[in-house]
């Protein structure tokens, strides 16, 4: 039995954690909360997990930046999910209109977390993952197939009443 709830760390969280402070005030705030949560709460309160898909995503781009992102990912358990099960739930999410086809990778993140019974999925992707208008449909699709959907949230929301 696990002693801590698990959090699936999606690509945007790792990117905000490792990138230089943005000139955009909103993004800089997200970076601050990500770093604060990561340094003070993440490992103490949660078991952090991710996936080979995140590993592929963070390895792209500038070599120096990708190395920073990969170094963070080395500390996390990567969940390997059978491809046919992953594709099936991803297809169901897309076919139901919970995510568009162009966001297939994002549907994989949700599917991996749901299939592996991960309690939370941490993301800064409000367009396709933590989209308040789509969350009920994402939950409905996961439950219909027999999976408990993860709670889709930001690192800021995982601060456990700190702010």
Q: Secondary structure of 111-142 in the HEC alphabet?
A: HHHHHCCCCEEECCCCCCCCCCCCHHHHHHHH
Band of pLDDT at residue 3, cut at 50, 70 and 90: confident
Place of tokens 């076919």: 95
Find out if CATH 3.40.50.1010 is the number for domain 6-158.
yes
Report residue 139's pLDDT band, with 50, 70 and 90 as the boundaries. Answer: very high
In this structure, are residues 21 and 163 in contact, taking their beta carbons and an 8 Å threshold?
A: no
pTM for the complete prediction?
A: 0.94
DSSP structure class, residue 78:
E
Instruction: Find the angle CA(125)-CA(129)-CA(131) to the nearest 5 degrees.
Output: 90
Distance CA 8, CA 79 (A): 9
């Amino acid at each position: 039995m696990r002693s801590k709830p698990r959090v699936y760390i999606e690509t945007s969280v790792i990117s905000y954690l490792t990138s230089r402070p943005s000139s955009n005030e909103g993004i800089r705030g997200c970076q601050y909360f990500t770093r604060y949560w990561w340094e003070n709460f993440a490992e103490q309160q949660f078991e952090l997990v991710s996936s080979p898909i995140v590993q592929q995503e963070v390895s792209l781009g500038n070599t120096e930046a990708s190395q920073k992102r990969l170094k963070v990912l080395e500390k996390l358990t990567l969940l390997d999910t059978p491809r046919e099960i992953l594709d099936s739930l991803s297809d169901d999410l897309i076919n139901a209109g919970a995510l568009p086809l162009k966001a297939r990778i994002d549907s994989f993140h949700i599917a991996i977390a749901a299939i592996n019974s991960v309690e939370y999925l941490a993301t800064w992707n409000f367009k396709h993952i933590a989209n308040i208008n789509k969350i009920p449909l994402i939950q409905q699709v996961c439950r219909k197939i027999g999976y408990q959907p993860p709670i889709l949230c930001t690192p800021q929301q995982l601060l456990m009443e700190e702010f």
